[in-house]
């Protein structure tokens, strides 16, 4: 089943013919009228107040490249990897600039031109993008090894002897951030097909995600449970592929396309009412398979069906008028909500998670200032730009703490982790990080417990 | 081998911290524009000072090397004011954005010139005070840019423009001298009013580093109305009636059909997309007065053909509607690649006629024009929707712009109500003010900036002082 993707080498020299920014539909670049309305929403601009670190500046650079006045240089490469890809600019932009497309094209161009290339970077990219994140089994084996390493006491031991202090700072930070791997992945928590509790009204497929599955498999379990509670028969394919968002956002569109085709094969979109995703970043990408595969004669039509059926879990629950829980998941708790960028800016899903949180008995939602500002996680940004990521993380944690909430809910594994680490490093904080579906599933479970107790 | 560093750059590097000086081509490209359509020019270097001393030092170096200096805020200007001139140094004040002192006894606020207008509004608001000027770009424009352009805003009808709130300011002149213009007193007639000369001088007379602003008590009540009309005539007539009824709302804005559709497309606040014209009206003041005025206005709207009037339920909805109006210009970019915003103002009694004429001009030159603006001030923004790459169409666009300007002047109007002359309007300035006034402007410039160092080529063309005598003709 899981034949590896062709890891065909990208030609060392540029192919003939137009490509990248130069070949992009020019009107997408022209759409930006440099009014500057996006600047106050851009985290990187706010950090430095330097125009090139703003959406308007980045688009100006791209346009200069398309106009042949500037080349894809190392500076440009660094600039585009300094951009978080958080898409806050697209929400702010009155002119409707499609920054998501510009961003992906620019990063692909940078990879094609190899302006950031070093042997180490090439190695890491090949290992991550082409090897690990295209082979679900390998990813899980690695996850399992990481778990063993953490559980066997080796990690604690090494941490104790201070061996890590020998590592360079960057790696040391990384080691501190290795999250706790789950003991069980989704495949062992949910069956391939789960029946609804009660009459069946819909048939849906659930995507388990890569990082989500290794670090937060209980959220996948919770997703399946809330769907079953709401009349859905749930199909969760085994050994799922990565959705390809990692590849699309990191300049590897070819691998992203291959993975998209595999996803479509894995879940025939025709066979379900909805395809459910619970990670903001994946969802944002999954909804764009139609444009990603628009030129693929074999898959274009199915990709359109696919894109129409992909729903974020919160979006779907509100769409099918989810049942309000009768019991509290936790008593007398104040909860606040941190919006994952790709959910609110990428998918424009803003009210639905809040509606779910407000439906929880015993919990009060208190808004946090700038809830839609990036937390600095942004894919692997906290590894590639540790200083900026840390600054954004600290700002986010401070704003969460200002609310006095006991729980902060979010809806993307990257944000979840970033908040956990940020709150942990803020020491005295007892704020729990959770997700709306997790709380909802807990409330439903509480209900069931009460019912059985009464009997 | 890296290219040899020019003596100018060497001097700048010696004087400024590395993080304050940008010379990379990538950086230069990103300071080549402002909000004005179809104009670009790369500078030599960009300076992001943190202190006034650094500005003085930069000016000294610029003088030494006879290199022009272009001051910049956030680059949202719409007349090309902060677009660099060839071989210039750009000084952008965005990092000098501190709020220095809030004096609640004298109701003043002292800020650095790079402070964002919205932040100023918020700082005042938090103290129960009110800073009224609110240009559409207030979320990102700097107070220095507002002062340099004498920016107006949505509340201009009742509260006036930036000029009405500047009590004093610190400026650095072309020769590097730092001086304070204006005072902390409400009344002050000591000497010429140089403060007002600098307000609206578009970065050509000096660099503003600090501004002392006057604040008002926050109005206790506010009512926001949205009235839709099936014809622009009805809307214009309603406005005349409101003014004739001696009611001064704080905001009286209008949008035409195209603008309504684009704005709704972005904001989704439920604007009536089939209306031909929309008026956004706000009253404020004592809650009872604000409500009473709003009721009178609502009645007048109904009496003059409004198809519906919506009243904002709460302040959140009011803010939403004002924000929608503020995004009008940028939202129009959804229709065509290039949006060229005009800024003519006519006496208010001429508004309806001016709007009709803009429609005729659009027809005559076969160009697409959407119009919105500050109805209460007579300030119209006919916005030409085009594509700068279509050279044939751009020719017609130029004719249309010329015709709009002529029409405004024929009605005793002005070529710019708030955006300034900059590069975009300098060809029209003489037509409006006449030869002798025009010459007077250049004389003022020459006496304050004899080397024509600061933002040369903006407002008017003036040859470098060294080659021309003071009383030589301006051309
Ligand atoms: C979407 C949008 C809506 C707008 N709405 C309005 C509106 O409602 N009303 C209105 O009046 N304008 C409006 N504008 C125009 C523009 O925002 C204003 O002119 C604003 O004041 C410019 O501020 P800035 O900080 O961006 O200045 P910039 O554009 O950077 O500079 C403008 C001019 O000021 C000079 N300057 C800047 N800072 C200084 C300083 N510290 N000292 C001396 N000179 C300086 C520059 O040299 C230049 O000539 C709008 C613009 C946009 C894009
Ligand atoms: S808001 Fe949109 S149009 Fe304006 S500068 Fe930003 S990206 Fe460009
Ligand atoms: S994606 Fe985020 S970081 Fe990048 S330009 Fe847009 S707002 Fe700024």
Determine the Cα–Cα distance for residues B439 and B471; give it in Å rounded to an integer.
9
pTM: 0.88
Structure tokens at A309: 């059926």
Among all chains, which residue has been given the structure tokens 């001030």?
A: B377
Determine the Cα–Cα distance for residues A65 and A62; give it in Å rounded to an integer.
5
Chain A hits for B27, Cβ within 8 Å: 50-52
- Centroid of ligand 3 to alpha carbon of B83 (angstroms): 24
Above pLDDT 90, what percent of chain B?
67
Q: Is the CB of A35 under 6 A from ligand 2?
A: yes
Residues of B with CB under 8 A from a CB of A: 22, 24-27, 29-35, 37, 48, 74-76, 92, 94-95, 97, 116, 118, 137, 139-141, 263, 265-266, 327, 329-331, 333-334, 337-339, 387, 389
3-state secondary structure A301-342: HHHHHHHHHEEEHHHHHHHCCCCCCCCCCCCCEEEEECCCHH
State the ligand closest to the CA atom of B35.
Answer: 1
Residue nearest to atom 13 of ligand 1 (CA): B135
Residues of chain A with confidence (pLDDT) below 70: 1-19, 127-128, 130-133, 138-183, 428-429, 454-455
Taking CB atoms and an 8 Å limit, are B30 and A96 in contact across chains? no
- Centroid of ligand 3 to alpha carbon of A30 (angstroms): 18
* Whether pLDDT at B356 is above 80: yes
| Pocket-testing residue among A51, A58, A89, ligand 3, by greatest number of atoms within 8 A of Cβ | A89
Name B39's Cβ contacts closer than 8 Å, sequence gap at least 6.
Answer: B33, B80, B83, B423, B424
* Whether pLDDT at B195 is above 70: yes
Taking CB atoms and an 8 Å limit, are B116 and A40 in contact across chains? yes
Q: Which atom of ligand 3 is the closest one to the Cα of A41? A: 7
Residue A292 CB neighbour total at 10 angstroms: 23
pLDDT at A307: 92
Prediction ipTM score = 0.90
pLDDT at A379: 76
Report whether A110 contacts A116 (CB < 8 A): yes
Least confident range from A374-383, B17-26, B116-125, B306-315: namely A374-383
pLDDT for A132-183, tens place per residue?
667 777 666 666 666 665 655 555 655 555 545 555 555 555 555 556 666 6
State the ligand closest to the CA atom of A346.
Answer: 3
| Of A36, A50, A93, Cβ closest to residue B140 | A36
The DSSP output letter for B176 is S
Return the exposure string of A67-79: e unless at least 16 CB atoms fall within 10 Å of the residue's CB, then b. eeebebbebbbeb
Question: Measured between alpha carbons, how far is residue A313 from residues A175, A227, A278, A411, B218 in Å?
Answer: 32, 9, 5, 10, 44
| Of B92, B140, B334, Cβ closest to residue A96 | B334
Taking CB atoms and an 8 Å limit, are B35 and A96 in contact across chains? no
Residue nearest to atom 2 of ligand 2 (CA): A93
Taking CB atoms and an 8 Å limit, are B330 and A33 in contact across chains? yes
pLDDT for A324-378, tens place per residue?
999 888 888 999 999 999 999 999 999 999 999 999 998 899 999 999 999 998 8
- Centroid of ligand 3 to alpha carbon of B300 (angstroms): 46
Determine the Cα–Cα distance for residues B422 and B200; give it in Å rounded to an integer.
11
Long-range contact set of residues A45-50: C-beta below 8 Å, sequence gap at least 24: A47/A388, A47/A391, A47/A392, A49/B48, A49/B94, A49/B95, A49/B97, A50/B22, A50/B27, A50/B48
Taking CB atoms and an 8 Å limit, are B140 and A40 in contact across chains? yes
pLDDT at B348: 83
- Centroid of ligand 2 to alpha carbon of B331 (angstroms): 10
Determine the Cα–Cα distance for residues B142 and B71; give it in Å rounded to an integer.
12
B-facing residues of A in 82-101 (CB < 8 A) are: 93-96
pLDDT for B62-73, tens place per residue?
999 999 999 999
pLDDT for B403-441, tens place per residue?
999 999 999 999 998 999 999 899 889 999 999 999 999
Beta bridge partners of B280: B226, B253
Taking CB atoms and an 8 Å limit, are B330 and A35 in contact across chains? yes
Size of interface A-B (CB pairs under 8 A): 96
Q: What is the mean pLDDT of residues B367-387?
A: 90
Taking CB atoms and an 8 Å limit, are B333 and A33 in contact across chains? yes
């Amino acid at each position: 089943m899981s034949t590896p993707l062709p890891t065909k080498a990208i030609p060392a020299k540029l192919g003939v013919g137009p490509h990248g920014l130069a070949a992009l539909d020019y009107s997408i670049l022209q759409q930006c009228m440099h009014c500057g309305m996006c600047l106050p929403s851009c985290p990187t601009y706010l950090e430095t107040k330097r125009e090139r670190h703003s959406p308007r500046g980045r688009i100006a650079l791209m346009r200069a490249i398309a106009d042949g006045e500037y080349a894809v240089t190392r500076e440009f490469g660094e600039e585009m990897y300094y951009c978080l890809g958080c898409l806050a600019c697209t929400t702010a932009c009155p002119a409707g600039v499609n920054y998501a497309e510009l961003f992906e094209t620019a990063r692909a161009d940078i990879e094609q031109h190899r302006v950031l290339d070093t042997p180490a970077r090439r190695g890491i990219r090949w290992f991550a993008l082409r090897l690990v994140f295209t082979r679900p089994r390998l990813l899980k084996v690695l996850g399992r090894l990481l778990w063993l390493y953490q559980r066997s006491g080796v990690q604690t031991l090494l941490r104790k002897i201070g061996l890590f202090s020998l590592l360079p700072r960057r790696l040391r930070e990384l080691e501190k951030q290795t999250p706790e791997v789950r003991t069980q992945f989704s495949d062992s928590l949910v069956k391939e097909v789960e029946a609804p509790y009660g009459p069946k009204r819909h048939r849906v497929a659930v995507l388990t995600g890569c990082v989500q599955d290794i670090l937060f498999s209980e959220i996948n379990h919770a997703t399946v449970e809330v769907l079953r509670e709401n009349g859905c028969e749930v199909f969760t394919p085994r050994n799922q592929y990565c959705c390809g968002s990692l590849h699309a956002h990191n300049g590897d569109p070819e691998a992203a396309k291959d993975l998209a085709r595999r996803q479509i094969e894995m879940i025939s979109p025709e066979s379900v009412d909805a395809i459910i995703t619970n990670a903001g970043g994946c969802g944002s990408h999954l909804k764009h398979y139609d444009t990603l595969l628009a030129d693929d004669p074999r898959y274009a039509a199915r990709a359109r069906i696919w894109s129409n059926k992909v729903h974020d879990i919160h979006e779907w629950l509100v769409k099918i008028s989810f049942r309000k829980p009768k019991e509290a998941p936790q008593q007398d708790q104040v909860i606040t909500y941190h919006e994952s960028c790709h959910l609110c800016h990428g998918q424009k899903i803003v009210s639905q998670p809040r509606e779910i949180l407000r439906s929880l008995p015993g919990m009060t939602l208190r808004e946090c200032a700038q809830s839609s500002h990036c937390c600095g996680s942004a894919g692997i940004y906290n590894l590639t730009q540790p200083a900026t990521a840390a600054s954004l993380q600290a700002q986010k944690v401070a704003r969460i703490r200002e609310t006095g909430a006991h729980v902060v809910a979010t809806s993307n594994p990257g944000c979840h982790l970033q908040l956990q680490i940020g709150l942990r490093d803020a020491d005295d904080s007892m704020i729990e990080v959770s997700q709306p579906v997790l709380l909802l599933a807990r409330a439903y479970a509480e209900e069931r417990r009460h019912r059985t107790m009464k009997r | 081998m890296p290219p040899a560093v020019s003596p100018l750059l060497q001097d700048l590097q010696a004087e400024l911290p590395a993080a304050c000086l940008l010379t990379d081509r990538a950086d230069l490209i990103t300071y080549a524009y402002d909000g004005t359509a179809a104009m670009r020019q790369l500078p030599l270097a960009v300076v992001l000072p943190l202190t006034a001393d650094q500005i003085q030092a930069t000016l000294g170096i610029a003088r030494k090397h006879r290199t022009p200096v272009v001051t910049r805020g956030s680059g949202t200007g719409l007349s090309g004011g902060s677009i660099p001139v060839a071989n210039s140094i750009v000084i952008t004040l965005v990092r000098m954005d501190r709020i220095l002192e809030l004096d609640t006894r004298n109701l003043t606020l002292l800020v650095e010139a790079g402070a964002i207008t919205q932040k100023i509004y918020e700082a005042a608001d938090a103290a129960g005070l009110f800073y009224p000027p609110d240009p559409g770009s207030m979320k990102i424009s700097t107070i220095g840019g507002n002062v340099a352009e004498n920016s107006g805003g949505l509340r201009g009808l009742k509260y006036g423009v930036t000029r009405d709130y500047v009590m004093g300011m610190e400026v650095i002149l072309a020769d590097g001298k730092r001086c304070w213009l204006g005072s902390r007193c409400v009344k002050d007639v000591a000497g010429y009013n140089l403060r007002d000369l600098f307000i609206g001088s578009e970065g050509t007379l000096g660099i503003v580093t600090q501004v002392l602003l006057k604040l008002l008590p926050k109005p206790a009540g506010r009512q926001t109305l949205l009235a839709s009309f099936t014809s622009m005539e009805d809307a214009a007539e309603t406005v005349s009636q409101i003014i004739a009824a001696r009611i001064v709302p704080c905001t009286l804005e209008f949008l035409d059909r195209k603008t309504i559709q684009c704005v709704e497309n972005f904001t989704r606040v439920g604007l009536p997309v089939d209306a031909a014209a929309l008026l956004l009206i706000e009253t404020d003041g004592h809650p009872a007065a604000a409500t009473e005025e709003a009721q009178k206005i609502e009645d007048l709207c109904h009496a003059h053909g409004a198809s519906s009037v919506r009243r904002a339920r709460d302040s959140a909805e009011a803010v939403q509607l004002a924000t929608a109006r503020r995004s009008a210009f940028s939202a129009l970019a959804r229709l065509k690649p290039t949006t060229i915003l005009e800024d003519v103002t006519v006496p208010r009694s001429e508004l309806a006629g001016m709007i009709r004429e803009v429609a005729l001009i659009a027809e005559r030159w076969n160009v697409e024009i959407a119009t919105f603006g500050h109805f209460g001030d007579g300030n119209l923004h006919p916005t030409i929707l085009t594509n700068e790459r279509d050279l044939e169409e751009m020719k017609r666009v130029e004719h249309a712009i010329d015709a709009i300007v002529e029409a405004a002047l024929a009605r005793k109007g002005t070529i710019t109500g708030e955006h300034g002359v900059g590069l975009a309007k300098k060809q029209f300035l003489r037509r409006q003010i006449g030869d002798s006034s025009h010459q007077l402007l250049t004389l003022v410039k020459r006496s304050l900036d004899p080397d024509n160092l600061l933002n040369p080529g903006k407002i008017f063309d003036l040859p470098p002082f060294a080659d021309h005598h003071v009383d030589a003709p301006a051309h």
